[in-house]
Amino acid sequence: MNIEIQYLELCREILAENEQEIAEGRWTPNRTGMGTVGVFGRMLKHDFKEGFPALTTKKLFFNSVKAELLWFLAGRTDLEFLHERGCHIWDKDAARNGGKLGPIYGKQWRAWEGADGRTYDQIAWVIQQIREIAADPERPHPNSRRLVVSPWNVADLEEMALPPCHGPFQFHVKDGRLHLAVWQRSADLFLGVPFNIASYSLLLHMVAQVTGLAVGTYTHYLNDVHIYRNLLDQVRLQLTREPYPLPRLWLNPEVREIDQFTMDDIQLVDYKHHPPIRGELST
């Protein structure tokens, strides 16, 4: 099923299950001070035969999706990289932390510090393992069920402006196709989840291209799924809109290494969408 349909159904489910709480103003408290309503433990799944999962019932700012993912892959944690590409989605989190973001996703993906003092490039490692599996799919590979990348470094959590909301994630190779599953501890359904779906779907396509595999399926596990009190009207508006057919993703076919991708190498094609729906991020 089209993941946008599943996403909209999840929005409806949260509104329906929390109808009385909303009417009475009984919100779930959290660290941001902005109450929420939600559910726990849901799954979304997408087959890319349906298209690329950029939601159409509101405009997805795909430029920021690209910029942030390339920032992660570059192992960067500074704002300069993002600002040069017109992306300001991390500014508020940095402002709360003295202008610094700390050892967040990019650091953990590309330079995880182990107890032995060594650093580990999880992205390079997982791509190498996928290539080995793809090269000889009939041979049992010791890491075929260990294709995991995690940003959740317990030793570094206190130094992070925001502990990872999404990740770990795991790749799977079967019949020449590369699949991806993502685990998300905290899921801001209106603002965050559409962005996360597009980001990890893009990562799947990029890794599939550089490992010579076809793109398989995308599975997204959502744990604490919530809608913030100040975004309820935006969600209701989005639910009045009919989805359009999903767009397609174009990647520059000449790129063969994950670190070679640039903003211009990644494009959405035939992206028809409804107007943006603005909402204030709770940090």
Task: Please tell me the total number of residues recorded for the chain in this structure.
Answer: 283
165 belongs to the catalytic site: yes
Question: Mind listing the domains of the chain with CATH numbers?
Answer: 3-269 (3.30.572.10)
Asked if 268 and 247 count as a contact pair (C-beta separation under 8 A), the reply is yes
Q: Over the stretch 29-56, which tens digit does the pLDDT of each residue have?
A: 999 999 999 999 999 999 999 999 999 9
Whole-number pLDDT of residue 256: 98
Lookup: tokens for 172 = 């799977």
The β-bridge partners of 77 are none
Residue among 15, 89, 148, 165 flagged as catalytic: 165
Q: Over the stretch 125-171, which tens digit does the pLDDT of each residue have?
A: 999 999 999 999 999 999 999 999 999 999 999 999 999 999 999 99
Give Cα 161 to chain centroid, integer Å. 18
Residue 185 labelled as part of a binding site: yes
Low-confidence ranges of the chain (pLDDT < 50): none
Residue 228 labelled as part of a binding site: yes
Residue 201 labelled as part of a binding site: no
Whole-number pLDDT of residue 137: 93
Whole-number pLDDT of residue 232: 98
Residue 186 labelled as part of a binding site: yes
R_g (Cα) of the chain, nearest Å: 19
Beta strand pairing call for 248-251 and 266-269: antiparallel
- What CA–CA distance (Å, rounded) separates 265 from 247? 16
User: Please, what sign has the CA dihedral across residues 77, 95, 190, 279?
Assistant: negative
Asked if 52 and 249 count as a contact pair (C-beta separation under 8 A), the reply is yes
